[in-house]
Structure 1
């Protein structure tokens, strides 16, 4: 009997296209927790995050024969999680209670979240900031944001110290923050950089 837990993501995707339900279950078991955790960070809602993850996996199964993934499966699933979580945020961004919960970490509570913020515009500016990062710093930032790897995992993957990883990510956040300065309020910039880092 095949041990699906030992298969690579590419092998699981190959089997998924052949309608292998065990391969699908392994993908689910491998990534649902990371996806849910990421979504909860964004939406602040465990219930909504559970629905988001479920919707992504239903879509993955329904599109199994036509799906084309560029890059890693993990990055694809995290990106899908981010996109659906953003839709939730966009639907609720004018809900006072939701905004208050989402902005809890901001030190200066007197600053209001912009009422008419365009998340797509802000994310576009953030992506432009990321594109300006030095190559190595950009690679580390993307591994952290898109792959959701920990400092330790990035350290091992790139054969550098955890301290270096931490400093590079911290510096990248400063550079990206500077890139969008003036276009959006400090509160919103801090909020989005925190949740989408």
Structure 2
């Protein structure tokens, strides 16, 4: 199945780049997404990773070796992107640990303050990544403390649309915080051990 698809891909690249891309995108998106999700346990991050993989494919389509496997190439790009994501998270954790150990907080309140700042940074980053309408609705609810009815009226939306957007925003935040939770637990244990 994949052999024929890939030979068609290499023929199409020369004739119609858009069709070649769509052929591979439709065939391989799900497999790449499942692999990414298995590694990062976050739908949004997995989708972003796979999207980046296909952007990389688009940029290099004409340079691919017709003897090679497109699927193997895509999985290799995905693996590299996941490793870079892990490295970035590890660097952030190491930095947080180094700041904490350099400061050596004198009491539990100071430790909690540092952890709260790290968690706030994670939450703020996820809010910034939300689609604009979702972000706007979330901030109106969270910061302006408006009711769902008020938000719906202000934005000329149905109350159900506002509820749906808030549910998706909360889900994104829960997922992101959960992904960072293990890092924060490790940091807390490290702090407690070194005081």
- TM-score of the aligned structures, taking structure 1 as reference length: 0.43
- TM-score of the aligned structures, taking structure 2 as reference length: 0.43
Q: Which has the larger radius of gyration?
A: 2
Q: Which has the higher helix share?
A: 2
